[in-house]
Amino acid sequence: MRRRRRAFPRRKVCRFCADSSLAIDYKDPKMLKYFVTERGKIIPRRISGNCARHQRRITTAIKKARHIALMPYTTIQPH
Amino acid sequence: MRRYETLFIVTPDSSEEDLKAVAEKIQGVVTGMNGKLVNYKEQGKKKLAYNVKKQNKGYYVLMDYLGLADLVAELERNMRLDERILKYITLKLADTVDPEDFEVQEPEPSEDTESVAEVEPEVDETVETQESEEER
């Protein structure tokens, strides 16, 4: 008997490859916000659908934005 | 010469005059070390994502300039010592730049759009090599 397959999500295309006008910039937290969870964790490539090259750029941009306090490292505030 | 960009945060309780004083001081360092200021833009008061030196707000200032590595070192040293500056980040935008290609100072909108279009591919290219620069 065939085991039930997991639902196949739609194959996502990297949005940065599809639209070259989108720029990845650490100074733009509004755009980067899209690639982190509510808690501020970076969303993995398998979920976000980015290609390797753009995921890498997103990741470095988010880390830079965190460094300059444009984005949170975490939303759980330490006491 | 190299092209750099520095984004820094000035403490929120600074007045107009304080901001002016910071601008003068920072720009003085750039020009004093044979650098060339391309753009100096105050982005206004913004809320910080987390507290920095017990402040939850700050004035962001973005500065674009040409210079050499010793200028960056001197600039960052000054920023560390200055209590009005909470945090900074410096990025190299381009490795070899002809200083003649840039207008000195004056943040004109026309120049702005031009530099944005020109910079984007460069930013991507330099991303990998940046890490060591700014983590310091």
> Cα–Cα distance between B84 and A56 in angstroms, integer?
34
Mean pLDDT, chain B, rounded, equals: 79
The first and second tokens of residue B32, run together, are 């004093």
B71 neighbors B33 (Cβ within 8 angstroms): yes
Ramachandran angles phi, psi of A74, nearest 5°: -155, 155
**Chain A contact for B131 (CB, 8 A cutoff):** yes
**3-state class (DSSP) for residue A70:** coil
Under the banding of pLDDT at 50, 70 and 90, the label for residue B115 is very low
Ramachandran angles phi, psi of B117, nearest 5°: -60, -35
* Cβ atoms within 10 Å of A65's Cβ, excluding its own: 24
**3-state class (DSSP) for residue A21:** coil
The yes/no answer to whether this complex scores an ipTM above 0.90 is: no
B29 neighbors B75 (Cβ within 8 angstroms): yes
Q: Which fold has domain B2-135?
A: Alpha-Beta Plaits (3.30.70)
* Cβ atoms within 10 Å of B104's Cβ, excluding its own: 10
Contact B123 A25 (CB under 8 A): yes
> Which pLDDT score is estimated for A65?
94
Residues of A in contact with B49 (CB under 8 A): 29, 66, 69-73
Contact A64 B91 (CB under 8 A): yes
Of A23, A24, A69, the CB nearest to B87: A69
The first and second tokens of residue B27, run together, are 């720009």
Decide if pLDDT at B120 tops 60: no
Residues of A in contact with B62 (CB under 8 A): 27
Look up the CATH superfamily of A26-67: Ribosomal protein S18 (4.10.640.10)
Would you write out chain A's pLDDT as a tens digit for each of its 79 residues?
556 666 655 666 888 888 888 889 999 999 999 999 999 999 999 888 889 999 999 999 999 999 999 999 988 766 5
Query: How far is the alpha carbon of B9 from chain A, nearest alpha carbon, in Å?
Result: 8
Nearest to A57 by CA among A11, A18, A17: A17
All structural domains of chain B with their residue ranges:
2-135
